[in-house]
């Protein structure tokens, strides 16, 4: 599986404003208390769950799993460097919330089904699984030409996974999360150089350099767009 080191490293997703906005969104989808138990699959540095832990004064640290071992992960979570399927298959805990945010596309369809089956088995009754992916129809991520082509291919696969998830015989609902991004162009160019999104991982240094030049010419000093995610909520009854 590909790994991303910089998705939540000095980007809008690591900003206090974004984290607060997303945690408010989470709490609208599932009522949580200080006794709630949370698992974040593909947690990155764990800043979102760390912030939520402080907000709710959680008695149990959220568990975050990721295949990338960040040295600066949030100490307010219990971090485990492990494959999601391996962890869930052997898990004995019961969670109130399992978050899978912008990571489901890293798995093949067979593994997606396994993750959902094991996740559902790891939920308390009334617990929820939240799966968030980029909005495949109205995506506004700033791109250069080759990046746009690659992103569109990825979004087609995301859409296929989404349709398969909708077919699962589990109680479900759909909602959306939207965050207005206002980012300085020079910061976004650094993000491109650091390959902050999986679409960029396989590009050559020359392709990245050309892409940076393209974005530099296309956008003004401040880049404004909406970061749009769609969210599928599975509830255990």
Secondary structure (DSSP) of 68-137 = S--TT--TTSEEEES-HHHHHHH----EEEEEEES-GGGS-HHHHHHHHHHHHHTEEEEEEEEEEEE-SS
Q: What average pLDDT does the segment 204-221 reach?
A: 96
- Tell whether 207 is covered by a domain: yes
Span 94-137, pLDDT tens digits: 999 999 999 998 888 889 999 999 999 999 999 999 999 999 88
CATH of the domain at 69: 3.40.50.150
- Tell whether 170 is covered by a domain: yes
Q: Output the pLDDT for position 77.
A: 96
CA distance 21 to 140: 19
Span 14-30, pLDDT tens digits: 899 999 999 999 999 99
Span 41-76, pLDDT tens digits: 999 889 999 999 999 999 999 999 998 887 888 999
Q: Output the pLDDT for position 67.
A: 87
Q: What average pLDDT does the segment 186-210 reach?
A: 94
Q: Enter the pTM of the model.
A: 0.92
Q: Which residue is it, tokens 């109130």?
A: 96
CA distance 53 to 190: 30
Does residue 145 sit in helix, strand or coil?
helix
Domain residue limits at 162 = 12-235
Query: Among candidates 40, 130, 104, which has minimal Cα distance to 78?
Result: 40
- Tell whether 2 is covered by a domain: no
Q: Output the pLDDT for position 192.
A: 95
Q: What average pLDDT does the segment 202-212 reach?
A: 96
């Amino acid at each position: 599986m590909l790994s991303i080191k910089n998705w939540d490293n000095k980007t809008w997703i690591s900003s206090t404003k974004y984290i607060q906005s997303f945690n408010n969104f989470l709490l609208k989808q599932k009522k949580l208390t200080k006794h709630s138990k949370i698992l974040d699959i593909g947690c990155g540095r764990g800043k979102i769950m760390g912030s939520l832990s402080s907000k709710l004064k959680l008695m149990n640290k959220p568990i975050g799993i990721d295949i990338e071992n960040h040295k600066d992960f949030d100490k307010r979570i219990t971090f485990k460097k492990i494959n999601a399927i391996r962890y869930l298959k052997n898990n004995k805990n019961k969670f109130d919330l399992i978050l899978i945010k912008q990571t489901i596309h890293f798995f093949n369809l067979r593994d997606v089904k396994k993750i959902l089956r094991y996740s559902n088995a790891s939920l308390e009754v009334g617990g929820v699984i939240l799966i968030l992916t980029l909005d495949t129809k109205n995506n506004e991520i700033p791109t250069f030409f080759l990046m746009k082509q690659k992103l569109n291919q990825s979004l087609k696969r995301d859409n296929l996974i989404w349709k398969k998830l909708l077919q699962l015989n589990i109680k479900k609902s759909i909602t959306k999360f939207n965050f207005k991004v206002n980012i300085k162009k020079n910061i976004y160019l650094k993000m491109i150089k650091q390959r902050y999104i999986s679409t960029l991982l396989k590009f050559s240094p020359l392709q990245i350099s050309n892409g940076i030049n393209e974005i530099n010419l296309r956008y003004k000093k401040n880049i404004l767009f909406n970061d749009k995610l769609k969210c599928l909520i599975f509830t255990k009854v």
